[in-house]
Structure formats: structure tokens, C-alpha cells
């Protein structure tokens, strides 16, 4: 029997990779997206129902939950730097929007919600590797908003018996990420436009980079399995990678022998070191990433090359 899944923000980067996977597994999928970042063209020729709407509009959310068993909540205001510029908008989309989705799930008797959280921004500056027992101390409004959302997911699991799963994503990269503001996208665009790669700080800041296909496999596993209420899991590579190393790897993948790198002042709100262990997700879900950074960056570069100059003129 098909399980109808609602994917919020499903026309964005992760949704464009996840929705086809869900459909391949025989799942009926409905997508809710306001198209501010994602585009319905990302799901062109994909057998999914796409509805335009905002997660903050409870009437819209209530309507699209009709017949839905599970929600994968991807829609978010996802930038650390933009959250510092406008913390109120970040709160409104991430926290109020998530609260609306949770309440609509209760009203519609939805069985499960899988929430897209974050590892590094939520936990802040901590000695890595971080795990599910690390004490969250966010240093940006974005991280604070995700922590607040996790708290509401935990509260709804205990107050209303809604099965909530909180997945803390590493730094995800891959195809359909042209509109993202992360390092991998920025560096690829710099190379394609023949402009210097800009690194904020000396380049020793580290992140945990996870290829999007590995992430989507983890999300699907979390949907499929019957998990305890308010389960929290890190989906990560478990590998600490410096930003400078990432830049050199992307230059190598691009086929250019060298490319100019500029160092700019460090930006407030960004953690200095971060990577996570995925041992709990491995034990609980059977999750284990299979795509190396070299392979993932090669696939990502190939996708950006396939859309060419469109990357600078339209959002994908």
C-alpha cells in the first residue's frame, strides 16, 4: 500500500534529489513549496503533486495534509549569514512555520514528521566530533531557530503522541544546489565565472560534508522505520574537512591546475570546527554514507557544468 508523503520545500535542493527517490520506492508524494528558493522545474517529469503555498499558512498546510501519513519537513530559512541580517524573518519561517506544520499534523492525524535540523549551527563551537549527547549552544539565529524547532518536535511527541524524528544534517552538497549559499556552491560558481574563490578566515575552519544522495538515503530510512518518539539522529560523513581543503579539491575536480583564492575576515556566527559521528544513525537506521568527497564533488561539478551559465541567471 502506498504511503502518501508530504514534502515541504520539496522543490528545493534536497527535495529535488529526495522526491524522485521516494517515488522510485513506490511512494505517492505531494510537495508544498512557495518557490522562493526552489523551482517546480526541479521536479519536471517527476510524478509528484506540486502545490504552491507557504508553511506559515495553516489553512494551506491543513489542506495539503489531506490523506497524508508522513511529513518530511524541509522548508526552512537556511542561511547562517542571512539569519544574522534578519533574525525575525528567520524565526518566522523556521520556528513559527514549523509550529504551524506540527499543529496541522495533529489536526489531520498525521502519523509521523521527519524534521530537517542541523548539526554544526545548532550545537555551535564544541570540540568535535559532536553527537546526539552534545550540548547545543548555537551562536547564530539560524542555529537557535533549529534548536527551538527541535524543542517543539520533542514537545509535540510527548504532548500529542506524534512520532517526530529530528535529523541533524551535515553540510550537504550535490546537484540542484545552485541557489544555496554554502561553500561548495560558491567555490564552483567562482571557478565557472573565473573569479577568485573567497574564504572567510584562514581556511582552517572545518565542516562535515555529506553528499546529497547519502543524506536522502538516511531520510528515507527514517521514514521507513518505526522509531521511538522524539528520536534525534545525526546524518553526517564523520569526516572533518577544512574549507581550504575543500577549495583545493573543487579546483582539482574542475580540471584547472590552479585558481586564485582570496582570504577575507572571518564572519561572526559561523562555527570554527565541526564534524559529527553518525554512529547512532548507523545503529538505529543502518545509515552509512557511501559517496566519497572526491566522487561527490565530481558529480556536483558535472551537474553545474550541465546547466552552464544558467546557474548565474536563474535559480535551480
Query: 164 and 24 in one domain?
Result: yes
Query: 299 and 267 in one domain?
Result: yes
Instruction: Tell me the pLDDT band of 20, cut-offs 50, 70 and 90.
Output: very high
pLDDT one-digit tens code per residue, 89-119: 999 999 999 999 999 999 999 999 999 999 9
CATH of the domain at 198: 3.90.25.10
Answer whether residue 56 is part of any domain: yes
Answer whether residue 280 is part of any domain: no
Answer whether residue 137 is part of any domain: yes
User: 192, 194, 217, 206: which is closest to 288 by C-alpha?
Assistant: 217
Per the confidence metrics, is the pTM higher than 0.75? yes
Secondary structure (3-state) at 9: coil
DSSP code, position 258: -
Answer whether residue 305 is part of any domain: yes
Catalytic residue, chosen from 77, 142, 209, 278, is: 142
- Find the domain containing 26 and state its range: 5-173+209-235
CATH of the domain at 41: 3.40.50.720
Answer whether residue 284 is part of any domain: no
Helix then strand then coil, % of the chain, to nearest 5? 45, 20, 40
Find the mean pLDDT for residues 13-28. Answer: 96
Query: 126 and 142 in one domain?
Result: yes
pLDDT one-digit tens code per residue, 150-165: 999 999 999 999 999 9
Answer whether residue 96 is part of any domain: yes
pLDDT one-digit tens code per residue, 253-291: 999 888 999 999 998 888 899 999 999 999 999 999 999
142 catalytic, yes or no?
yes
Torsion of CA 290, 19, 154, 211, to 10 degrees: 30
CB 153 within 8 A of CB 116: no
Query: 69 and 22 in one domain?
Result: yes
**Tally of domains in the chain:** 2
Alpha helices in 48-136 (DSSP H): 58-64, 80-85, 87-91, 97-107, 120-123
Answer whether residue 281 is part of any domain: no
Crossing angle of helices 183-192 and 293-307, in 10° steps, is: 50
Find the mean pLDDT for residues 8-18. Answer: 97
Amino acid at each position: 500500500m502506498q504511503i502518501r508523503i508530504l514534502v515541504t520545500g520539496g522543490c528545493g535542493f534536497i527535495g529535488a534529489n529526495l522526491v524522485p527517490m521516494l517515488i522510485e520506492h513506490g511512494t505517492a508524494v505531494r510537495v508544498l513549496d512557495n518557490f522562493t528558493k526552489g523551482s517546480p522545474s526541479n521536479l519536471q517529469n517527476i510524478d509528484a503533486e506540486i502545490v504552491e503555498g507557504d508553511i506559515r499558512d495553516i489553512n494551506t498546510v491543513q489542506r495539503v495534509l489531506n490523506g497524508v501519513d508522513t511529513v518530511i519537513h524541509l522548508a526552512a530559512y537556511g542561511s547562517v549569514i542571512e539569519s544574522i541580517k534578519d533574525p525575525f524573518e528567520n524565526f518566522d519561517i523556521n520556528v513559527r512555520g514549523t509550529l504551524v506544520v506540527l499543529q496541522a499534523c495533529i489536526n489531520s492525524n498525521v502519523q509521523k514528521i521527519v524534521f530537517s535540523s542541523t548539526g554544526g549551527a545548532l550545537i555551535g563551537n564544541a570540540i568535535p566530533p559532536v553527537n546526539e549527547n552534545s550540548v547545543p549552544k548555537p551562536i547564530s539565529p539560524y542555529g537557535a531557530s533549529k534548536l527551538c524547532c527541535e524543542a517543539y518536535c520533542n514537545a509535540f511527541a510527548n504532548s500529542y503522541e506524534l512520532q517526530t524524528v529530528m535529523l541533524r544534517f551535515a553540510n550537504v552538497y550535490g546537484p540542484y544546489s545552485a541557489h544555496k549559499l554554502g561553500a561548495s556552491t560558491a567555490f564552483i560558481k567562482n571557478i565557472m565565472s573565473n573569479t577568485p574563490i573567497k574564504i572567510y578566515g584562514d581556511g582552517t575552519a572545518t565542516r562535515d560534508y555529506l553528499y546529497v544522495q547519502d543524506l536522502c538515503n538516511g531520510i528515507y530510512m527514517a521514514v521507513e522505520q518505526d522509531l521511538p518518539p522524539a528520536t534525534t539522529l545525526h546524518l553526517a560523513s564523520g569526516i572533518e574537512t577544512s574549507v581550504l581543503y575543500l577549495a583545493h579539491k573543487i579546483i582539482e575536480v574542475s580540471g584547472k591546475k590552479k585558481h586564485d583564492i582570496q582570504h577575507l575576515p572571518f564572519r561572526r556566527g559561523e562555527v570554527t570546527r565541526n564534524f559529527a559521528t553518525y554512529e547512532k544513525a548507523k545503529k538505529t537506521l543502518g545509515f552509512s554514507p557511501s559517496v566519497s568527497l572526491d566522487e561527490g564533488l565530481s558529480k556536483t561539478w558535472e551537474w553545474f557544468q550541465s546547466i552552464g551559465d544558467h546557474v548565474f541567471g536563474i535559480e535551480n
